[in-house]
Structure 1
């Protein structure tokens, strides 16, 4: 059953997104600042993965510095006062951060997979130079993936002060095709790669009894944080973003459903959740480094509750054999 198309109620967006952006700005700035310091202090201890962690941190900081402008935009009831060019730059930075994060998290997952499932075959063969080349390739692919977004209009003729995260109504069908392609290449393929990597890693850890318990715990930590990132930040964003584009096309053609407004709300929640990845990513820096994790335990006083655990000079947890 169709109903008459009505204008979108932006009240929820104007209340929800500024709150999320302010929270992410504060937590993300602190967390990624800590992340940069930890990478610098432990450059030699966390292996070739450190290059990916560093670039993950830089991608977050790039986006975090655009958040004050978005807070201003939504606080002014979706009125953009910084010019159309800068609007596209801000939306482009979000795209770069989102898919750059997914790309580098995928690289970290593959490196973990190679180190656990094929340790002898690849030990010493993957150098920092290889990691640097892979990093440049990730940035290049992400740039190509996000570049078309710069060529889509970010406002309607009757809303010249808007700054859409997608595009104007008359270009929405073309944008949907681009968005689906971006979802498949930038999200779907990395998701499949990570599922395959950690599926094989889990099988290896479960079937090899001689595998060190501490190694299992380290992998479990990373699996948990990546599952958290994808479940909370990335999946809802891509599902509801494309679904909302479909409803916009339908409304543009004069066909509306009552539940379209619910899809719009879900899409805005997805936008907020996607932004949260910049605040959650610092957990990767923490959980990727045993020494940092141990220091956190010490500051929390938890180290005194686990006297059977000590730490090696290389930053790995060891069991204390003398009780």
Structure 2
């Protein structure tokens, strides 16, 4: 059988309420939209600094807030995508397990926890982000990491929490989903249940969707973290 539609009705309302369908994934999509909104909010400040050759004109307090929000948003976005991938795995592969976790209210609390944890995880940014005055008079907003060792450890910490830890978890969830979907398709095909089970076109469409989601994650955050790691290998002048 294919349980996707049944899984999406695990809400705090009766199953007969049609409007309740897909509210769990909608919560995750809504949080990704919030992450995009935060990104759009902080980007003009970062672009302004870049356009002025690294000069920051908005003061030390706003420097700390913008830098911390930017770092927090990276961690939260990756965490939400990981949680959403796990939710998709539970909904499609184990639709009748852990039903108490897949409710709208619990999903909201999970996402609130993700954001709170993200704020805590970027505590170094809250502490070290400030306006730095260089010898040539340039005042730039950055993390005041005074030693190469501090730069190394913070870059590795940020890269692992925002990219190298979420990526394999996301991949594992979707690989398991695809394996389950193709296994059910072959089982139903062998039993000649074409009209009441998962058709091949639907499995192919799911496969393409998974590839697109993973590709978007890689393209959107991968280059930044790879460049961060490459910069570590460049000796300071």
Smaller-chain TM-score range?
Answer: 0.7 to 0.9
Equivalent residue for 1:220, pick from 186, 190, 207: 207
Where does residue 141 of structure 2 map in the other structure? 163
Structure 2 residue ranges without an equivalent (≥5) = 1-17, 189-196
Where does residue 303 of structure 1 map in the other structure? none
Equivalent residue for 2:183, pick from 207, 210, 214: 207
| 8 Å CA contact retained: 2:184, 2:198 | no
Whether 1:56 aligns to 2:43 is: no
SS in structure 1 at match of 2:140: coil
Equivalent residue for 1:91, pick from 27, 46, 67: 67
How do residues 1-323 of structure 1 correspond to structure 2 at under 5 angstroms? 44-123=20-99, 126-154=102-130, 155-158=132-135, 159-164=137-142, 166-167=143-144, 170-209=146-185, 210=188, 211-213=197-199, 215-216=202-203, 219-247=206-234, 250-251=235-236
| 8 Å CA contact retained: 1:80, 1:162 | yes
User: How much does 1:123 deviate?
Assistant: 5.0
Worse-superposed segment, 213-222 or 43-52: 213-222
1:160–1:153: structure 2 CA closer, same or farther, 3 Å change rule? farther
| 8 Å CA contact retained: 1:103, 1:138 | yes
Q: How many residues align?
A: 207
User: RMSD across aligned C-alpha pairs, in angstroms?
Assistant: 2.5
User: How much does 1:174 deviate?
Assistant: 0.7
Q: TM-score, normalised by structure 1?
A: 0.58
| 8 Å CA contact retained: 1:115, 1:122 | no
| 8 Å CA contact retained: 2:38, 2:73 | yes
SS in structure 1 at match of 2:20: coil
Structure 1 residue ranges without an equivalent (≥5) = 1-41, 253-323
Worse-superposed segment, 181-190 or 211-220: 211-220
Where does residue 12 of structure 1 map in the other structure? none
Inter-partner Cα distance in structure 1 for 2:153 and 2:112: 27
1:43–1:162: structure 2 CA closer, same or farther, 3 Å change rule? farther
User: How much does 1:160 deviate?
Assistant: 4.6
User: How much does 1:148 deviate?
Assistant: 0.8
Q: TM-score, normalised by structure 2?
A: 0.76
